[in-house]
Structure 1
Amino acid sequence: MKNWKALVVFTMCILTSYSSHCQILKGEELKSLTNENFNIAFTNLRHFLKLQNDGNYPEQIDKNKHWCDSVFRKLNFKTQTIKTDGAPLLFAEKIYKKNYKSILFYLQVDGQPVDSSAWSQTDPFTPIIKEFKNGIWSPIEIDSEQNIYDDDWRIFARSASDSKGPAMSLISALQILQEQNINPKYNIKVIMDFQEELGSPDLPKAVLENKDLLSAEMLFIMDGTRHLSNLPTLTYGARGIATATIKVFGPKYALHSGQYGNYAPNPVFEAARLISSLKDDRGIVQIPGFYDGVVLTERDKQLLAMIPENNDSLNTRLGIFSSEHVASTYQEALQFPSLNIRGLKAAYTGKEVRTLIPEDVVIEIDMRLVLETPAERQLELLRNHIIKQGYHLVDSAATSEDRATFKKLAAYEYRIGSKPFRTDMDTDIGKFLNSALEKVFGDDIVNMRTTGGSQPMAPFIQTLKIPAVSIRIPNPDNNIHGPDENLRLGNYREGILSCLAILTEPLP
């Protein structure tokens, strides 16, 4: 009996030791696991990309939500739907040990609307693998059992990079660890958003109402493009966004330019003068107070200067002669609010062009925000600037009385989207993620203070009081939001590897 008990104790010690050893994997072991499982991970990504995912359509949301729910249940996560006034959210959780701390992962599942006619393939939701050959991207056929892929091949489909590719990187890593019977040293929570591209309108209220459910030590965001160097990237903040629509009114209806030219003013010229008043020829916004509050410390500038960039190379890549003069470098420019004309419409062009004086001009504006420049302030500054240019503003349509009373007449509408956020780079979350990624990438890691784009993370940070960092996976030239969106296969491979490194890193 004593010998039997001793054998049991010895066996348990061996198993405990083996289990503990399996939790701490070296970089080369993680790379081998990634490569051995890449074929199935790539196949799963292609299946996921076949699901249409425009957040404007409930039936598309439901199909993606069902797919995600099934995947996480197979990973032995408990899932539940978080109902909102609009589109639902999906929550998944796996408790490895009750006394472990929790990490919350954010996944974006929806994508931008598509114009199929603008793509180089018939269906943006039928993924196509392509290689760059003779100056063009050409489709290639691959065997379903193939396990050797060129890292420079790309998969073209809507949401390949933004952001089903990053989501599948995490899912694939979890599947690999499950197969290897390896458990993270922390519990995992996942929140899935199906209307990120619409500004996640119901997310703030949902986070507030479910803050105990979502509580965690840190938030990892599986969304966003890498730095221009295409090195593994961690981003500690994002700019917010506010949009405005200005409609400059002309005559009651479009007029024949021959009969009324030289008599009826064309609103395009007034709109052009208004647009030109927004920025000077150096690209600096001329709205008083627009940049107020933004100050970069010497430490901020030091951290920004560590990012590998060259202005001349960037200008050549973008095809521009020179940059605007808001800041001296690209990274510093991202720390300031921006004002952009994102759309302009008046009458007709191309084959539809005709000799008319248009009845109105529509100017679509987006403003990216930083912590020091809240949306409400920036929108009010813009509104006041328009008024100072001599305009009388109405809410929507101009009445006959308005037209008879005011020489310059415009409608002004606005919408506030995601709020900006920023996490201190010199804190535990940054140290944890850098320690994890250094196992597999060494020093080739880019830490960015903020990204130029927007992400709906402020509700988590403000309500849950936790730091957030975006783990960037897609290649920077992925045609995000546009036709021919793509994901480089090497980036997807490194995305899975990044997630494995993070999931096997013990929390500080």
Structure 2
Amino acid sequence: MTSTHPFLKEHREKHLQELKQFLSIPSISSDSSYKQDVLRAAEWTAQALKEAGMEKVQVMATDKHPVVYGEWLHADNAPTVLIYGHYDVQPVDPIELWETPPFEPTIRDNKLYARGASDDKGQVFMQIKVIEAIMQTEGKLPVNVKFIYEGEEEIGSPSLDPFVEAHQELLAADLLLVSDTTMVGEGQPSICYGLRGLTGLQIDIKGAASDLHSGLYGGAVQNPLHALSELLASMHDSEGHISIEGFYDKVRPLNKEEITTYQHLSDDEALKKQLGISELFGEAGFSTKARLWGRPTLEINGIWGGYQGEGIKTVIPSEAHAKITCRLVPDQEPAEIARVIQTHIEKHLPKGVTVDVTLFDQAKPFITPYDHPAIQAAGQSLEKVYQHEVLFTRMGGSVPVVETFNTLLGLPAVLMGFGLETENFHAPNEHFHLDNFDKGMETLIDYLHRIKEAL
């Protein structure tokens, strides 16, 4: 469907062209060579807010990438909604797997292909255009709004916690609205009430002072790749259970309703087909959705060392490396999980090598009661537009700032995203279904009117 809202319907093609401009900016926050592009995306976002009728729009510096702020505060006796999103994107590697260039947005089969199309530029754009549509057709908003858009979400939002702490009065509101999550399936609206947290680290194993000839020294010294493989293997048992002492100590159990709902939503055959695999694998005793949404993980994200070129080079490498991230669930503390992993590494390090551990991104898990009036109102808006009963779910990913806003500002969070898990965010050929582009904006317009009465 195309939107039924008169302003959105009339300007749909113009909006798609504007979104393509936004998506053409390679705002890759993890790569310093794209710093100016990240700034350019921030400035583009700020200009879009100004054109939507927002006031006090600013591009505000942080230690790394800027925050974009804007507001409209003229709705008397109405709540204030803080709208959050991010304008930075993931790297595009491997580039050769993209069917069309990642920063040359292309529409195919009613889907918009580009890096950031679903995560999160497409949804940020929707938020802004919804505000513009209301302002243009009604002359005012039903609620007060504040916007905060960051450029570091894809690198763990390192500057955002101190920014929020330093600007608590500026960001004070009654509700946080985020569109950076996914729906359960096509045509199936859902509200996310929980996010997993994150802790990341790198393991660097060191053996001899330099690479060694495997014929002259093989059998007499420890191979760092062997040592690393043994160490990593010690972190799980054969059934997917994490074998690190203390890892599960504070995991909040799923309640009976969650267990039943997640079992019902788990379609293992469809997931295997989608992923092109013959079998699923995970912690024994839990359904697939329970593993994805309500249980913690420890994943090896990268492992390297030794000769990588063509053919064989008969060496024992002097170094071996691995990157690990853990997705955490409510009541787990990222710093504590990092500590128990470090203890495990020290305890299980094979002889003949040394180890260094470097800590990376950390984010606390988040969960909010799904009977909160703001969340229930969101469900009503979704059901009205999608004509389908809404589901209340968790999400396996992390949006670190949600917990920050809840802790520092006391804001309940409505995580109303319109992406789909099949849209390849963080992977080649990321795309966004334009049906959700249209329905999502209809839903947000309805919600901003509905929330005035709900709070």
TM-score where L is the length of structure 1: 0.82
CA shift at 1:427, angstroms?
A: 1.1
Aligned partner of 2:108 in structure 1 is: 130
In structure 2, the residue matched to 1:488 is: 433
Q: Which amino acid aligns with 2:347?
A: K
| Aligned partner of residue 103 in structure 1, secondary structure | strand
Deviation of 1:229 after TM superposition, in Å, equals 4.9
Please tell me whether residue 257 in structure 1 is matched to residue 214 in structure 2.
yes
Q: Out of 16, 20, 27, which is 1:53 matched to?
A: 27
- Counterpart Cα distance in 2 of 1:29 and 1:199: 34
Structure-2 change in CA distance of 1:493 and 1:482 (3 Å) = same
Deviation string, structure 1 residues 156-207 (Cα, Å, up to 9, x no partner): 2111111111111112222222332264321111101011111111111111
Residue 181 of structure 2, aligned match among 187, 210, 224:
224
Paired position in structure 1 for 2:87: 109
Task: Summarize the Cα distance change of 1:281–1:116 in structure 2 as closer, same or farther, 3 Å threshold.
Answer: closer
Q: Once the two structures are superposed, what CA deviation does each residue of 1:105-160 show, in whole Å capped at 9, x if it has no partner?
A: 101100012337334356421112224xxxxxxxxxxxxxxxxxxxxx32221111
Q: 1:344 aligns with which of 269, 284, 303?
A: 303
2:343 aligned partner, one-letter code: N
Distance in structure 2 (CA, Å) of the matches to 1:438 and 1:165: 22
Q: How does 1:45-444 map to 2 (within 5 A)?
A: 45-55=19-29, 56=32, 57-78=34-55, 79-115=57-93, 117-121=95-99, 123-131=101-109, 153-181=110-138, 183-229=140-186, 231-294=188-251, 295-305=253-263, 308-318=265-275, 319-333=277-291, 334-349=293-308, 351=310, 353-390=312-349, 407-444=352-389
Structure 2 distance, partners of 1:434, 1:28, is 21
Could you list the runs of 5+ residues in structure 2 that have no partner in the other structure? none
Residue 48 of structure 1, CA deviation: 0.9
Shift of 1:250: 2.3
Q: Contact (CA 8 Å) 1:304, 1:449: kept in 2 or not?
A: no
- Three-state SS of the structure 2 residue aligned to 1:90 is strand
Aligned residues: 446
The offset of 1:214, in angstroms, is 0.8
For the residues of structure 2 that align with 1:270 and 1:193, how far apart are their CA atoms? Answer: 40
The CA deviation string for residues 253-301 of structure 1, in whole angstroms up to 9 with x for no partner, is 1122233333333222222111111111111101122112222222443
What amino acid is the match of 1:473?
F
Q: How far apart, CA to CA, are the structure 2 residues paired with 1:327 and 1:120? A: 37
The Cα shift of 1:353 comes to 4.6
Offset from partner CA, 1:321-370 (integer Å, 9 cap, x none): 13313442122212122100000002133526522211111011101112
- For 1:387 and 1:276, how far apart are their aligned partners in 2? 14
- 8 Å contact kept, 1:475–1:491: no
Q: Which residue of 2 aligns with 1:456?
A: 401
Distance 1:272-1:506 versus aligned 2 partners, 3 A rule:
closer
Distance 2:105 2:155 in 1: 24
Alpha carbons 2:374, 2:451 under 8 Å: kept = no
Distance 1:80 1:267 in 2: 50
Instruction: Report the CA distance shift for 1:201/1:303 in structure 2 as closer, same or farther (over 3 A).
Output: same
Q: Which amino acid aligns with 2:307?
A: Y
1:452/1:86 CA distance change after superposition, 3 Å = closer
Q: Distance in 2 between matches of 1:253 and 1:470?
A: 51
Distance in 1 between the 2:232 and 2:375 partners? Answer: 41
CA distance in 2, matches of 1:54, 1:322: 32
List per-residue Cα deviations over 1:446-503 (Å, max 9, x = no partner). Answer: 3213433343222111011011122111222111112222112222222222222222
Q: Deviations over 1:421-454 (max 9, x none)?
A: 1111111121111122222123342321343334
Alignment correspondent of 1:139: none
For the Cα contact (< 8 Å) 1:235–1:451, is it kept in 2? no
Separation of aligned partners in 2, 1:282 and 1:46: 45
**Percent of pairs identical after alignment?**
26
| SS of corresponding position for 2:173 | coil
Does the aligned pair in 2 maintain the 1:348–1:354 contact within 8 Å? yes
Aligned-partner SS, 2:420: coil
Q: Which has the larger radius of gyration?
A: 1
Equivalent residue in structure 2 for 1:42, among 5, 16, 25 = 16
- 1:505 is aligned to 2:450: yes
Is the Cα–Cα contact under 8 Å of residues 229 and 308 in structure 1 kept in the other structure?
no
1:504/1:409 CA distance change after superposition, 3 Å: same
Deviation digits for residues 389-411 of structure 1 (CA, Å, limit 9, x no counterpart): 145xxxxxxxxxxxxxx634211
TM-score, L = length of structure 2: 0.91
Q: Do the aligned partners of residues 441 and 246 (structure 1) sit closer, same or farther apart at CA in structure 2, a change above 3 Å counting? A: same
Say which SS state the counterpart of residue 351 (structure 1) adopts.
Answer: coil
- Equivalent AA in structure 1 for residue 304 of structure 2: K
Q: Which amino acid aligns with 1:474?
A: G
> Is contact 1:237-1:469 (8 Å) kept?
no
| In structure 1, distance between residues paired with 2:387 and 2:443 | 12
State the distance in 1 between where 2:239 and 2:408 align. Answer: 40
